[in-house]
Amino acid sequence: MVAPHLGLAKLVEILPGIEIAADLPAVYIKPANAVVISDTHIGYEDEMASQGVFIPRVQKKRMIEAYTKALNYFKTRKLVVNGDVKHSFSRLTKQEREELSQIFTDLKEKDVDVTIIRGNHDNYLAQLAEKFDVRIEESLVFDNIVLYHGHTEVVPEKGKIYVIGHEHPRISIRDSLGFKRRFKAFLVVPLKEGATALVLPSTGIYQPGNDISLIRSNYLSPLIREHATLEKAKSYVIVEGEGIMEFPELELIKDLI
C-alpha cells in the first residue's frame, strides 16, 4: 500500500482545529492562533560531554530554525513549547542557561508570545523564564484541545483532543532486504474513551525517537499505554526537504514496521 504524499507546501488539517504543513515538526492550533513544537532538549550536547561523548552543538540552531519557519508559515506570533525545552533533569546547566537566554532574546525581539508547558526535563527553569516574560504552565486548553507534555496521568474525556510530546515518535520502515529507514512522525491515536491523542515529533535533532508499533509497553506516556486503540492509530511521516506523508492505520502496515 502506497502512502499518499501530502506535499511540501500543502496545509493539512490533521484533526479538527489542528494543522500541519510542509516538513515542519510543528502544529498550528487554530483556536489559539499558536504554533506548537515539542521536545527541543536544549543542553543535550553538554550533558553528553559530561559522559565523555562529544557531539556538535546543533540543538539551539535546530530549535530556532523550526520555530522561525513555523511562525512565518502560519503567520502568527504565538509559540507554545509542549515540554522538555531543556535536557538536564537535575539542574540548569551553563549551556542551557546561555542558549535558552539567546533563544528567549530572539523570540522577544521578534515580539513572539511564548508559553512553555512543563515537561519532565523542565526543572530549574522558572527564574530564567520569568526574566524573559516566558510563561510556564502545566497544561493549556483551547476549546476541546488540551495541551500537556504527556508524562503524567490523565483521565481522557470524550470528544477531547490531547496534544502531547514526550514520546518522540518515529516510524521505521523495513525494505525487502531487512534494512530500515527511520522518519520522525506525528501520531494520531484514537482513545478508548472516545477522545483522540496527537503525539508530536521531537524537534531536537539528537532525539531520533521511539519506534511507533502495536506493542503497548513500548510507549512512554500513560495516555498511550493505558488508553490507546493502537491498531487504528495513523502516522504522518516527516520527510525533510520533501514534505509529509500520511500512512495507513497501524494494523494495515504492521508487517512493514
What global pTM score does this model have?
0.94
Cβ neighbours for 241, distance < 8 A, ≥ 6 positions apart: 23
SS3 146: strand
Degrees to nearest 5, angle at CA 142 with 154 and 23:
90
Q: How far apart are CA 115 and CA 82, in angstroms?
A: 8
**Strand pairing class (11-15; 145-147):** unpaired
Model confidence pLDDT, tens digit, residues 110-154 = 999 999 999 999 999 999 999 999 999 999 999 999 999 999 999
DSSP assignment of 9-78: S-EEEEETTEEEETT-S-EEEGGGTEEEE----BTHHHHHHTTT------HHHHHHHHHHHHHHHHT--E
Asked if CATH classification 3.60.21 holds for the domain at 11-252, the reply, yes or no, is yes
d(CA 96, CA 80): 18
Grid cell in block for residue 54: 562529544
Q: What is the pLDDT of residues 59-74, one digit of tens each?
A: 999 999 999 999 999 9
Would the pLDDT of 13 be above 80? yes
Relative orientation angle of helices 94-109 and 59-74, to the nearest 10 degrees: 20
Query: Domain spans of the chain?
Result: 11-252
Residue pLDDT, tens place only, 166-192: 999 999 887 777 778 889 999 999 999
Residue 209 has pLDDT above 90, yes or no: no
Rounded to an integer, the average pLDDT of 64-93 is 97
Q: What was the pLDDT predicted at 236?
A: 94
8 Å CB contact between 149 and 85:
no
Element of type H or E holding 185: strand 180-190
Question: Is the separation of the CB atoms in 116 and 136 below 8 Å?
Answer: yes
How does strand 78-81 pair with strand 180-190? Answer: unpaired
| CB atoms near residue 154 (< 10 Å) | 18
